[in-house]
Amino acid sequence: MQWLFTLLIGLAISIVAYLLMPKPAQAPPPAVTDLANPTADAGRPIPVVFGTVIVKGLNVLGYWDKETTEFTIAY
């Protein structure tokens, strides 16, 4: 009977510890990370784009307003 009492106390302490533990920080939404500030490094290659691609980690000298623009080509 004593082992049951010990088991219940251990279970109660585990539940309290779980409820009191800090919650992990949530990751920012993907839209925010897509507009990360570009960098300018001397040894970094400049991507050449052919077709429809998403270029991440731009290497530019300046940037201003962060916005997205969608282009359509009429044939």
Give the H or E element holding residue 33.
helix 30-34
Each residue's pLDDT expressed in tens, for the chain with a length of 75 residues: 899 999 999 999 999 999 999 988 887 666 555 555 666 777 777 777 788 887 776 666 666 666 777 788 887
What is the pTM assigned to this prediction? 0.35
Give residue 31's pLDDT.
Answer: 58
**Which residue range forms the structural domain that includes residue 19?**
2-27
In a domain, 14, yes or no: yes
Residue 39 DSSP SS3: strand
- Rounded-to-integer distance, Cα 73 and Cα 24, Å: 44
Within a domain: residue 16?
yes
Domain count, the chain: 1
